[in-house]
C-alpha cells in the first residue's frame, strides 16, 4: 500500500510499504478514505517529538471502511464505515473504566520508554512516535486498528467524510479544551492559537455558554476565521503586551479561563521569544511555552488555564509563583477522544457545529509531502489539509 512515511526532519515521502495485517483477534483493518494533517504532525515533521524512526507511517486523524476483522471483534463487520480516534484504548483497564481514554494502561507497548520520559506512560496513539507505541498511522491506504470494538465510531446517516473526519482528534480536542474551563454563563474565555483546534475551542466555548471569546494569533487570515466563529481577536504582533491587552478588554479583571491551543512551537516576538528559541535550539529546554506563560499571566485571579497544545518535556521560566499566589488552576491533557465522539456526532447532526469550516486544502494522499510543506509554511492561507485516497 501507499503510506506517508517520516524519513527524517522536514522530510516525508509517500512510499510503498507492506499492507497491515491482523495481529490480534481484536484488530480490524480499515481502508482509509480520508485522513488529515494535524498541527501535532508538524511537531514530528520538525523533529520535536521523538523518538521517530525512518519509515514510520504518519497520521492519526483518519476514517474509512472496515475490510477485515479479527475473530474476536463483535461490533464491527466488513463494510462498516468508521472514524477512528487517535488514541488507542483497551476499554477494560482502570483508566478506561474511569473515562480517561488517553491514559489507557494497556495500549502502549513502549510504556517503559514513556515512563522514563514522563514518569508514567500514557496510552498508545497512531502515527505519533515510539513514545506512544510506534503504531503505524493513517496517512495511508490502510491501517491496523487495535481494540476495534472500543475505539472506532460507526458512521451511518449519510454524513460526508469531511463532516465527521475531525471526530478523530481536533474537534474533541478543541471541545475538551473548552470543557476544562468549567464555563459558567457570562464568562470570557481567551484562546491562544487560531489553528483548527483553536477554532473548535472557540466554537465549543460558545456552545458551553461563554459570553465572550477572545482569540489570539498573528496570522490575519486565521484571525478572520476566528471572527467568523464570533470571536473577538487580538493580533499579538500589533500589541505591546497580550496580557495587558486582555486585561484591558475585560475591565481590568482578565479572562475567566485561558486555553492554550498552541503548544511547544509557539511563536512570539521580543526578547522572550529569542530566549526560548535559543534555549530550545541548544537543547536547554524542549518546549517554547510562550503562549502558556501569557495565558497564565493574563488569566483572572482564581481562573483556569486549559492546556490542549502539545508539550513534550521541559520548559523554562514557568511562573509557578503567579499560579500559587493567584489561585490559578491548570488543567491539561491529550484528548480523551472516545469520551466525546458520540456526543459531538450528535452536535454535528443537530447542526450545532460544522467541522468542515476549518478545511482549506484538499489533496490526494500522493501529495502528502506537498501538504506538509503548505501547512508548515502557512502558504495560501492554509488552515487544515485533508488528504483523500
Ligand atoms: Zn491531530
Ligand atoms: Zn485501557
What are φ and ψ of residue 310, in 5° steps? -85, 130
DSSP state of 356: G
The alpha carbon of 110 and the centre of ligand 2 are apart by a number of angstroms equal to 15
- Asked whether residue 255 carries a pLDDT value surpassing 90, the answer given is yes
The alpha carbon of 168 and the centre of ligand 1 are apart by a number of angstroms equal to 8
The alpha carbon of 270 and the centre of ligand 2 are apart by a number of angstroms equal to 44
**Euclidean distance between the first and the last CA atom of the chain, given in angstroms as a whole number:** 11
Averaged pLDDT, 349-375: 97
- 22-79 pLDDT, tens digit per residue, is 999 999 999 999 999 999 999 999 988 888 999 999 999 999 999 999 999 999 999 9
The alpha carbon of 194 and the centre of ligand 1 are apart by a number of angstroms equal to 15
- Asked whether residue 270 carries a pLDDT value surpassing 80, the answer given is no
The alpha carbon of 28 and the centre of ligand 1 are apart by a number of angstroms equal to 21
Q: Which ligand is nearest to the CA of 94?
A: 2
The alpha carbon of 123 and the centre of ligand 2 are apart by a number of angstroms equal to 8
Q: What is the 3-state secondary structure (H, E, C) of 132-190?
A: HCCECCCCECEEEECCCCCCCEECCCCCCHHHHHHHHCHHHHHHHHHHCCCCCCCCEEE
CA gap 205, 253 in Å, rounded: 19
The alpha carbon of 154 and the centre of ligand 2 are apart by a number of angstroms equal to 20
The alpha carbon of 316 and the centre of ligand 1 are apart by a number of angstroms equal to 26
What are φ and ψ of residue 167, in 5° steps? -65, -15
Q: Please tell me whether residue 238 adopts helix, strand or coil conformation.
A: helix
The alpha carbon of 85 and the centre of ligand 1 are apart by a number of angstroms equal to 10
- 154-183 pLDDT, tens digit per residue, is 999 899 999 999 999 999 999 999 999 999
User: Chain-wide mean pLDDT for the chain?
Assistant: 95
CB atoms under 10 Å from CB of 248, counted, come to 12
The alpha carbon of 336 and the centre of ligand 2 are apart by a number of angstroms equal to 11
The alpha carbon of 248 and the centre of ligand 1 are apart by a number of angstroms equal to 34
How large a percentage of the chain has pLDDT more than 70? 100
What are φ and ψ of residue 210, in 5° steps? -65, 145
Q: Which ligand is nearest to the CA of 92?
A: 2
CA gap 117, 96 in Å, rounded: 22
Q: Which ligand is nearest to the CA of 108?
A: 2
- Cα 167 to Cα 86, 171, 286, 299: the distances in Å are 9, 6, 29, 29
How large a percentage of the chain has pLDDT more than 90? 88
273: confidence class by pLDDT, cuts 50, 70, 90: confident
Residues facing residue 4 across a β-bridge: 14
CA gap 87, 69 in Å, rounded: 19
Q: Please tell me whether residue 292 adopts helix, strand or coil conformation.
A: helix
- 310-331 pLDDT, tens digit per residue, is 998 888 889 999 999 999 999 9
Q: Which ligand is nearest to the CA of 146?
A: 2
pTM, two decimal places: 0.96
289: confidence class by pLDDT, cuts 50, 70, 90: confident
- 339-348 pLDDT, tens digit per residue, is 999 999 999 9
Residue 117's pLDDT is 87
Closest CA to 193 of 73, 67, 313, 291: 291
286: confidence class by pLDDT, cuts 50, 70, 90: confident
Amino acid at each position: 500500500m501507499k503510506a506517508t512515511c517520516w524519513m527524517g526532519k522536514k522530510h516525508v515521502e509517500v512510499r510503498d510499504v507492506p499492507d497491515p495485517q491482523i495481529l490480534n483477534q481484536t484488530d480490524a483493518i480499515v481502508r482509509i478514505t480520508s485522513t488529515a494533517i494535524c498541527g501535532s504532525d508538524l511537531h514530528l515533521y520538525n523533529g520535536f517529538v521523538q523518538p521517530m524512526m525512518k519509515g514510520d507511517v504518519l497520521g492519526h486523524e483518519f476514517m474509512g471502511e472496515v475490510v477485515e476483522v479479527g475473530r474476536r471483534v463483535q461490533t464491527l463487520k466488513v463494510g462498516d464505515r468508521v472514524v477512528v480516534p487517535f488514541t488507542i484504548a483497551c476499554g477494560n483497564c482502570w483508566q478506561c473504566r474511569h473515562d480517561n481514554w488517553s491514559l489507557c494502561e494497556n495500549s502502549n507497548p513502549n510504556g517503559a520508554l514513556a515512563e522514563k520520559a514522563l514518569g508514567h506512560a500514557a496510552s498508545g496513539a497512531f502515527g505519533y512516535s515510539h513514545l506512544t507505541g510506534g503504531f503505524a498511522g493513517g496517512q495511508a491506504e490502510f491501517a491496523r486498528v487495535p481494540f476495534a470494538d472500543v475505539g472506532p465510531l460507526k458512521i451511518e446517516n449519510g454524513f460526508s467524510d469531511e463532516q465527521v473526519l475531525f471526530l478523530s482528534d481536533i474537534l474533541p480536542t478543541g471541545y475538551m479544551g473548552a470543557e476544562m474551563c468549567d464555563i459558567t454563563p457570562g464568562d470570557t474565555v481567551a484562546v491562544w492559537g487560531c489553528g483548527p483546534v483553536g477554532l473548535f475551542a472557540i466554537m465549543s466555548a460558545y456552545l458551553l455558554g461563554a459570553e465572550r471569546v477572545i482569540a489570539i494569533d498573528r496570522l490575519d487570515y486565521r484571525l478572520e476565521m476566528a471572527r467568523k466563529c464570533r470571536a473577538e481577536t487580538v493580533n499579538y504582533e500589533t500589541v505591546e503586551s497580550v496580557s495587558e491587552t486582555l486585561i484591558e478588554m475585560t475591565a481590568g479583571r482578565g479572562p475567566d479561563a485561558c486555553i492554550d491551543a498552541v503548544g511547544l512551537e509557539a511563536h512570539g516576538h521580543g526578547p522572550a521569544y529569542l530566549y526560548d528559541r535559543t534555549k530550545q535550539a541548544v537543547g536547554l529546554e524542549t518546549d517554547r511555552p510562550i503562549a502558556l506563560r501569557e495565558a497564565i499571566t493574563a488569566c483572572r485571579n482564581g481562573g483556569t488555564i486549559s492546556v490542549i497544545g502539545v508539550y513534550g518535556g521541559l520548559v523554562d521560566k514557568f511562573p509557578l509563583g503567579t499560579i500559587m499566589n493567584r489561585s490559578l488552576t491548570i488543567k491539561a491533557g491529550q484528548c480523551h477522544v472516545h469520551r466525546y465522539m458520540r456526543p459531538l456526532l450528535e452536535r454535528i447532526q443537530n447542526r450545532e457545529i460544522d467541522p468542515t469550516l476549518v478545511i482549506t486544502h484538499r489533496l490526494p494522499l500522493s501529495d502528502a509531502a506537498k501538504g506538509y510543506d503548505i501547512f508548515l509554511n502557512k502558504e495560501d492561507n492554509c488552515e487544515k489539509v485533508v488528504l483523500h485516497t
